[in-house]
Structure 1
Amino acid sequence: MLNEIKKDAQARMAKSVESLRHDLTKVRTGRASTALVDHLRVNYYGSDMPLTQVASVTVSDARSLTITPWEKQMVAAVEKAILASDLGLTPNTAGTTIRINLPALTEERRRELTKLVHSEGESAKVAIRNIRRDANQQAKDLLKEKAISEDDERRFETEVQKITDDAIKDVDEVVKAKEQELMAV
């Protein structure tokens, strides 16, 4: 019973770390990446579709992305989605090809993005701590039902704390790596 709770907590903590990694791919660094526009949704004949399903997105060089819609009439809709996004980028259209040039990040913008990365990391840590709390509460409930002994419960809490410490260390490493990537000029 306790092993199942521990495995579940460990899996959920790993998902939290992976979710943080995924969320941080959207944070713009100095280099172009297709992950910057992966979350964009485009109005495709009345329904919102992910950009990657209506166009091909490629990195043409270190500072620009090229988006080629599969249908000519989708060019305007893709441009509209880019302009409406929180990216703060302006698309340049030439025929059916849309180019997005990424300007170099200023020092001030890098610091703002670093603060954003830290806040995302803190959110992930809070989620991990909540998972720990839930697992410990389940163990306490088992103790009240007399399904486990107090020693088992203490041992379990120690093991869950070790798993939590490992997950928080992973979050710190992810945040530190992204911060270094942001501050590299």
Structure 2
Amino acid sequence: MAQVLLFLNQGFETMEFSPFVDVCGWARNDYDVDIHVTTAGFTPVVRSTFDVDVTVDKLITDITVDDYDALAIPGGFEEYGFYETAYSDAFLALIRAFHAADKLIATICVGALPVGKSGVLTGKQATTYHLRRGYRQKELAKFGVNVVNEPVVFDANVITSYCPQTAALVAFKMLGLLTDEAIEQTVKQAMGY
């Protein structure tokens, strides 16, 4: 059985949240893959970018890293408060704990930035939001990350990607790493990718 902790920081993007739920849901529902997603946040209800509220299953204080195989982190918008929780000491400690336990970390877009800030990606290859003259990639590089301008990058057990368009690709990659490539390809094909 694979357990995914999908962490929703304030101001997360719904387009980057839903692929983790859908890809794992298709795998479980249509192909009997024993994979489950648990949502978590700092508060029982987390407000996303564009003001969509999502009720989470667990609070950050209730998380036991050993219960999960992967941490999934959607990105979000600064003007909706994303970095207020994503850069918090508690969230950075959670990222470090997942990494220290050799758990998979999957991020979309600027979800890579708190992983970079945590120190987990120092000296590793990764990517993040690449448009608007690459200002977020420059920010990631300041954390000692070797920034690669590719859609999806996998290094040191961390998946990063460079914009919301890559969200499904990250979710499929996570599924494949937690199960196997055949399941990843089967679910991808079933979902029209």
Structure 1 length as normaliser, TM-score?
0.24
Q: Which has the larger radius of gyration?
A: 1
Higher helix share: 1
Which is richer in strand? 2
